[in-house]
Amino acid sequence: MKLGSKARDAAREILKRCDSCTICAKECPLLKERGLPHDLARDALAGKLDPALPFLCSLCGLCTVACPRKADPAGFLRLLRAEFAASGDFSLEPFQDYLASEARTSSPNHTFLAAPQGARRAFFPGCGLSGARPETAWAVYEMLDALEPTAFVLACCSHPSQVAGRADAALTRVKDLAARIAALGVSEVLVPCASCREMLQAAEPEFEVSTVYETLAPVADEREQDPDRESLDIAVQDSCVWRLDKPVHRAVRDLIWGSGHAVSEMNHAWYRTTCCGAGGQAGLCGSALPEYWRAQRLEEAGDRPIATACTGCLRTLAGSHPTVHVLDLFLGADPLHPPAFLSGDAAHLGRLALKRRARRHFRGSRKS
C-alpha cells in the first residue's frame, strides 16, 4: 500500500539517518530477525512491508534511544500501525476484547468528575490503577486531598485506541475529556500512569499534567522511618513510556526510599529501561517479544522484589515474581507479599466501586 504523508516522511527520515550499524538490533530481537530500520523503511516505501510487523513491535522506544544517529524507528513503527489499521491492511480483530474493555471504561458508567471548593488540581488514576488497585487509587486521592483540596477524575484516556492504531479517534476523545477536566477549573492534573500522561499531553490541555510521584516525593522525604521495618533491596521496573523523564524516575525512587527500602537498579534502567512485555499489546498479535522482555526483566531482577509505577508492568511481572506498585509500597505494602490486583470483570467492578465511593465522598459538595 502507498504510505500517507506522515509515515512517508518518517520512512525517508529513517533512510537518511540509519546507516545499519546494528546497535538497536542488539537490544531488540524483532529488529534482529525482521530487518534493520533502514530495511523496514525501504520496504514500507516500496509497499512491500508485512502490515503485521508494526503490530509485533512493543512500541517501547528502546531502539530510538539506542540510535547514535538519532533515527526514530519506534515512532516510525507507531505511525505504521495507524496507517495499516486505517487502511484495513491489518485487521484489528486481535484487539477486539482490548477495545471492548476500553469502550466499557470510557462509558458514562465508569466516568466521574468532581471537584471540592478551591481545588486547583485533580487526581486522575486512569483505568489501570483504578481497575487493578482501586483501594490504592482512593487512598492516594485521600492523601492528596489532605494536603490540599483535590478534584477526582475517573475516566479513560483512550490509550488502548492509540495502541491499536486508531490514533485520530483516540485524540478526539482525549481532547473531549481534557475539556471536561478543564471545566472543573483545575490547573494541574496528577496521574500515576505514563500512558495517561502521554495521552492527556497530546490533547494540549489548558492544565499541566504531572505525576503523582513527583507530588508525593517531598512527603516521602519528610517521612519518619520505622526502625523495626526490614529494609529490602528493591529492583525498579521503569516504564518505557516515560523512559526519558528523569524527574519521574527520581520521584519513584524517592517513594521507595521513603518506604524504608533501598533502590537497587536493574541493568536496564532509567532511559535504557526495557519493556515488561505489555508494551504495544504486541502479545495480542502473536509477537514473541513480550515473553522475551518479561524473561529479561525477571532475570535482571534476580531474587530482588520489583517495584513499578506502571500497572501494565505490575500485571505482567507479578504473576511469577513479587512485584508491587510503588504507591502500594508507599502506603505500607510488604514487597515480598504484595497485595493482589484485580483484572478482567473484577477490575471493571472495582472501578465501579471506586466511583460509588467517590460519589459518596463528593455528595453535596460537588462541582462537575
Binding site for ligand SF4 (CB under 6 A): 18-24, 27-28, 30-31, 36-38, 57-63, 66-67, 69, 71, 73-74, 77, 289
Residue 319 CB neighbour total at 10 angstroms: 9
Q: CB of residue 270 vs ligand SF4: minimum separation in angstroms? A: 16
Question: What letter does residue 284 receive in the DSSP assignment?
Answer: G
CB nearer ligand SF4, residue 131 or residue 279 = 279
Sequence-distant (≥ 6) Cβ neighbours of residue 186 within 8 angstroms: 115, 119, 120, 121, 122, 151, 207
Q: CB of residue 28 vs ligand SF4: minimum separation in angstroms? A: 3
**What are 153's strand-pairing partners?**
113
Distances (CA, A) of 17 to 4, 38, 54, 97: 20, 8, 20, 38
Q: Reduced to 3 states, what is the DSSP secondary structure of residue 237?
A: strand
Give the CA dihedral 274, 276, 277, 282, nearest 10 degrees.
-60
CB nearer ligand SF4, residue 77 or residue 119 = 77
Q: CB of residue 264 vs ligand SF4: minimum separation in angstroms? A: 24
**Using CA atoms, how far apart are residues 282 and 55, in angstroms rounded to an integer?**
6
CB nearer ligand SF4, residue 65 or residue 216 = 65
Q: Are 161 and 278 in contact (CB under 8 A)?
A: no
- Over the Cα atoms of the chain, what is R_g? 21
Q: CB of residue 16 vs ligand SF4: minimum separation in angstroms? A: 11
Q: CB of residue 331 vs ligand SF4: minimum separation in angstroms? A: 32
CB nearer ligand SF4, residue 80 or residue 119 = 80
In a 13 Å sphere around the CA of 106, the CA atoms on its Cβ side amount to 18
Q: CB of residue 35 vs ligand SF4: minimum separation in angstroms? A: 10
CB nearer ligand SF4, residue 31 or residue 310 = 31
CB nearer ligand SF4, residue 137 or residue 289 = 289
Q: CB of residue 326 vs ligand SF4: minimum separation in angstroms? A: 23
CB nearer ligand SF4, residue 215 or residue 316 = 316
CB nearer ligand SF4, residue 94 or residue 339 = 94
Q: Are 237 and 313 in contact (CB under 8 A)?
A: yes
CB nearer ligand SF4, residue 69 or residue 250 = 69
Characterize 340-356 residue by residue with b for buried, 16 or more Cβ atoms within 10 angstroms of its Cβ, and e for exposed: ebbeeeebbebbbebbe
Distances (CA, A) of 36 to 73, 75, 213: 9, 14, 37
Q: CB of residue 65 vs ligand SF4: minimum separation in angstroms? A: 9
* Alpha-helix residue ranges (DSSP H) falling in 35-166: 37-45, 53-56, 62-66, 73-87, 96-105, 126-132, 134-147, 159-163
As given in the structure block, the three cell numbers for residue 364 are: 453535596
Q: CB of residue 299 vs ligand SF4: minimum separation in angstroms? A: 18
**Using CA atoms, how far apart are residues 194 and 217, in angstroms rounded to an integer?**
17
As given in the structure block, the three cell numbers for residue 88 are: 484495513
